[in-house]
Amino acid sequence: MQITAELDSQHVEKLHVLEKTLKKNTSELIAFAIDKVFTDNSAKTEGSTAYQLMLDSGFIGCVEMDENLSENYKASLDWSHKL
């Protein structure tokens, strides 16, 4: 695959330093960066339970209601718009 990218001068300079330091060409560095980001991102969720992922995201605990809401939701929710 061919990719065209526009980089600012700071990133171009960093790219040249990495090419010299790691003795890799631009294509190899891009592949390396993609692999690194992919691995780091996968490591965050690998082995995590759905519960842990939702807890970490803030989804669980975003509403304060009765802890037994699933059992008595009819008494806790406002149904006035249904009348």
Tokens matching residue 53: 């992922």
Read off the pLDDT of each residue in 3-11 and give the average, rounded to a whole number: 93
Q: pLDDT: is 6 or 54 the higher one? A: 6
Q: How far apart are the first and last CA of the chain?
A: 59
Cα 66 to its chain centre, rounded Å, is: 31
Contact between residue 41 and residue 30 where contact means Cβ atoms under 8 Å apart: no
Structure pTM?
Answer: 0.50
What pLDDT does residue 83 have?
Answer: 67
Residue-wise pLDDT tens digits, 25-70: 999 999 999 999 988 877 666 667 888 888 888 888 777 777 788 8
pLDDT at 24 over 70: yes
Contact between residue 45 and residue 53 where contact means Cβ atoms under 8 Å apart: yes
pLDDT at 18 over 80: yes
